Every structure is written in structure tokens, then in C-alpha cells.
Amino acid sequence: MTYQQLVTFSQNRLIENNLHGGFAFRLMLEMCELKGINLYMDKDTVISESFAMEYSANIDRLLLNEPMAYVLGFEWFFGRRFITDSSVLIPREETEELVGHVLADIDEYFGESCVIGDVATGSGNLGITLKLELPKSTVVCSDISGDAIETAKKNANNLGADVTFLMGDMAQPFIENKIKCDVLVCNPPYILFSEEVQTSVLEYEPHVALFGGEDGLDFYRQLLDEAPQILKEKSMIAFEMGFNQKENLTKEVVKRFPQATIRFEKDLNGLDRMCFVYFNCN
């Protein structure tokens, strides 16, 4: 059987099980790249038995609804490969957009040598990316999960990012270590307990990284309460958020910081997905 034939065969298996057929090609492409095989050149070459078995075992995992990023063991984020295992949330495209906006704001208000805190870092995707894009910055990342911190450290090592990781609940490790930030970035768990979630997400991704209480805003409230202790006078917070949380999140921010400037940004799908809170940035 050739590479192409195995992809076509597997595509049909996925489609028969109501899954996206395109996963078969993506999986083959990524696995070939890891092994230094050029799929476009070799698609009509006979595939080795061991590779075919490895690939088919991965297709079996996809058939059980396991997300591609866990099957592959990595996800791309801002052009870099991040290890993803069941201890961390899979980095999402929307979160890449958050990075873009934060980079623009840092350029405008703080300059490259700023101190950045990434709260609830998960795989480390936000903090590590910002450090690699802004080598002169100082980046500190926190997460409540020791396993997530281990994975994030591996990512920082692999990608050559000099970032500090602290284990603890939201901003607590920053408070304990008396760290003062110019910029806080945070993609907290924001799914409502009552919200319907895709099976692949619910069954495989860590619930501690997904759910944000009754209204999904528990961790925003917590960080907004903690923020004054770890922010410099001129500073900002950049949050990712759920598409329907704009109104309620505005209330939470205004209640605590009536003087702050709030800005929302839409993602590429046209949904309100990012919230920026500015303190004395003029």
C-alpha cells in the first residue's frame, strides 16, 4: 500500500464514523514531517509496514474522538511546535490572535524590556511565545497544575525560551514572590458549567483548564481582585474570553476599576474574544 492509498483508506474510515476526513491527510503530513519524509514527493511510494501500523494506531485514536494534538503530541502555536499532553489545554488559533494584540500594545505602551506575567500558562504557549518574540522581556508564568508546569518547562527548553515557571493558583505565586508586571496575559478557564462542550474536548482536555464556574467568570474575578498587588502603576491585562461574556466581564472590570480603559477585540470569526484593561496607559 502506498502513502496515498493509506490516507484515502483512512479518510473513508473517519468519514464513516462521522469524523472529518481531512484529519487523515493532516496526520500523515505531520508524521512524515517528523520522520523527514516529503509526502508530496513520496505519496506513491510503498509505505513501510511499521510506519503504516504506527499511522493506523493514531487513526484509531482519532476514531475514539481523541484530539489531533494529543495524538500527535504537539500543536502548532505562532509558528512553533508546542508539546501537548493530557495535562494541558491544547493551544488554540484564537489565542494566537491575543498574542498579536499584546505585541502591538507592548510596542505602543511598554517597550520590549517589560515584565510579562502569564497566569494559568498551561503548555506555556502564551508566555513562551511572548518571550521568543520579545527577547529582552522578562516573562514569569504560573499554573496551579504541577504536571502542566512540567510540560510548559519542556516547551521552554525545546524552544530555547528563558522563562520562569511558578506553581500556584492564578496570581498567588506572583504575590508571594513580590513580582510586579507591566503586562498580564491570561486565558483562564471560562466555560460555564452548564455549557454544551464538544465530546473530544470534554473527554480529553483537562477540566481544570476548561471550566470557570456558574457564569464562567470565576477566574476573571479572582485575577481582577489579585491584579492590583502584582501590576505596576502603568500596566495592562489581556484576557481571552468566551464570545458571549463581553457584557458581564465589563461589569466585573468597571466595578473594580472605574478609571481603567477597557477595549474588546473580535477574533477572525467576528466574535468578541479578547478583553484588554489598561491602567494609566496614555
Per the structure block, which three cell numbers stand in for 118? 502569564
Q: Which is nearer to ligand GLN, 58 or 142 (CB)?
A: 142
| Contact stretch for ligand GLN (CB under 6 A) within 46-54, 67-75, 186-194, 252-260 | 186-194
- Looking at the Cβ atoms of 32 and 223, the one nearer to ligand GLN is 223
Q: And the C-alpha cell for 113?
A: 524590556
Range 123-142, binding ligand GLN (CB under 6 A) = 125-126
**Cα–Cα distances in angstroms (integers) from residue 3 to residues 68, 69, 144, in the given order:** 19, 21, 43
Asked if 91 interacts with ligand GLN (CB under 6 A), we say yes
Q: For residues 169 and 107, is the Cβ–Cβ distance under 8 A?
A: no
Nearer to ligand GLN by C-beta: 91 or 242?
91
C-alpha distances in Å from residue 70, one per residue of 6, 65, 186, 235:
21, 11, 23, 36
CB 83 within 8 A of CB 151: yes
The least distance separating ligand GLN from the CB of residue 152, rounded to whole angstroms, comes to 9
Instruction: Tell me, letter by letter, the H, E, C secondary structure of 248-268.
Output: HHHHHHHHHCCCCEEEEEECC
Which of 58, 84, 87, 187 touches ligand GLN by CB under 6 A? 187
Name the segment binding ligand GLN (CB under 6 A); options: 46-54, 115-123, 254-262, 267-275.
115-123
- Which 231-270 residues touch ligand GLN, going by CB under 6 A? none
Running DSSP on this structure, what letter comes out for residue 209? G
32 scored as a contact of ligand GLN (CB under 6 A): no
What three-state secondary structure class fits 112?
Answer: coil
The stretch near ligand GLN (CB under 6 A) out of 132-140, 154-162, 182-190, 191-199 is 182-190
Amino acid at 32: C
Please tell me the count of residues contacting ligand GLN according to CB under 6 A. 12
Least distance to ligand GLN from the beta carbon of 126, Å? 5
b/e per residue, 64-92, with b = 16+ CB within 10 A? eebbbbbbbebbebbebbbbbbebbbbbb
- Alpha-carbon distances of 211 from 66, 90, 117, 204, 217, rounded to whole Å: 19, 14, 21, 14, 9
Q: Taking contact as CB under 6 A, which single stretch among the options 36-44, 102-110, 187-195, 247-255 is the one that binds ligand GLN?
A: 187-195
Give the residue closest to ligand GLN by C-beta: 122
C-beta closer to ligand GLN: residue 188 or 242: 188
- Decide if residue 209 touches ligand GLN (CB under 6 A): yes
What's the Cα-to-Cα distance from 45 to each of 10, 41, 42, rounded to whole Å? 17, 9, 5
The conformation of residue 166, written as its DSSP 8-state character, comes to E
- Side chain identity at residue 167, one-letter code: M
From candidates 67, 117, 173, 188, binder to ligand GLN by CB under 6 A: 188
Residue in 121, 129, 172, 245 binding ligand GLN, rule: CB under 6 A: 121
The answer to whether 212 contacts ligand GLN (rule: CB under 6 A) is no
Q: Which is nearer to ligand GLN, 55 or 212 (CB)?
A: 212
Q: Which residues bind ligand GLN (CB under 6 A)?
A: 89, 91, 95, 120-122, 125-126, 187-189, 209
